[in-house]
Structure 1
Amino acid sequence: MVNMINQIKSQDKWSPPASIYRYVYKGKVVYFIPQRCCDIPSVLLDEQCNTVCSPDGGISGGGDGGCTDFFKVRSDEKLIWKDSR
């Protein structure tokens, strides 16, 4: 996750500021990076930082359709990082 944070910090500050949340989804720990604007999708990562899906955002606003139940079944939210630049 440190590499992901450093990658985000190497970019211009997002608006709204970037953040990463930890959840449990379908029995597994995942990390959610909310969409940063309009047509840019959010990203859901597994514990190895592999992309699982895009729960929302993108042109349709509905993500990539790979985890349409994420917002309904996720649990144990914990903010693990927020860009404070």
Structure 2
Amino acid sequence: MNKEQQAPSFRSSLWAVAFSACLAVAGCKPADTTASTATAAQAHPDWLTKLIGELELEMPANPPARIYSYTYNGQQVYFLTGRCCDVPSKLYDAQGNVLCEPDGGITGRGDGRCTDFFEQRQNETIVWEDKRKS
């Protein structure tokens, strides 16, 4: 085969590789996260979405703030971790009412209204985590 016959074959192969690469890149583009973010936000009660918004307006805590969902005493509850030092954590019911402060405070034992929370909680799911640097 002379150079004139090899050139079209080489060009065809090059185009085939380039076309395949384009298809591969197009197939690997990131998923649209707008829909999944909207779905996740809709899954939260309004009061919880508002609380998360308020936390995001504050300075980041150290350790970072987190909200977990649990089953406790047969109901769904939301646990906001305590902030630095003696700031107590908060446990909310599904309607956003504060049930208790399970830990933190001066004694580190919370307000004493749900002393069995850490032993009885079940079905842990992280709802939100502040990923900003403090």
Provide the TM-score with structure 1 as the length reference.
0.97
Corresponding residue of 1:18: 65
Cα separation, 2, equivalents of 1:73 and 1:13: 29
The runs of at least 4 aligned residues of structure 1 exceeding 2 Å deviation read none
Which stretch of the first structure deviates more once superposed, 22-31 or 33-42? 33-42
Q: Which residue of 12, 35, 40 corresponds with 2:87?
A: 40
Normalized per residue, which structure has more helix? Answer: 2
Counterpart code for 1:25: Y
Structure 1 or 2, whichever has the larger Rg, is: 2
The structure carrying a bigger strand percent of its residues is 1
Partner SS, residue 52 of structure 2: helix
Alpha-carbon RMSD across the aligned residues, in angstroms, is 0.6
Deviation at 1:10, TM superposition (A): 1.1
Distance 2:104 2:72 in 1: 19
Structure 2 counterpart of 1:28: 75
Q: Helix, strand or coil: the match of 1:24?
A: strand
Higher relative contact order (CA 8 A, sep 6+): 1
- Give the 5 Å matches for 1:1-85: 1-85=48-132
C-alpha separation in 1, matches of 2:122 and 2:56 = 27
TM-score (norm 2): 0.62
Q: How much identity, in percent, do the aligned residues show? A: 49
| Number of equivalent positions | 85
How far apart are residue 50 of structure 1 and its match?
Answer: 1.0
Gaps of 5+ in 2: 1-47
In the alignment, structure 1 segments of 5+ residues that lack a partner are none
1:49 positional shift: 1.2
State the Cα distance separating 1:75 from its structure 2 match: 0.2
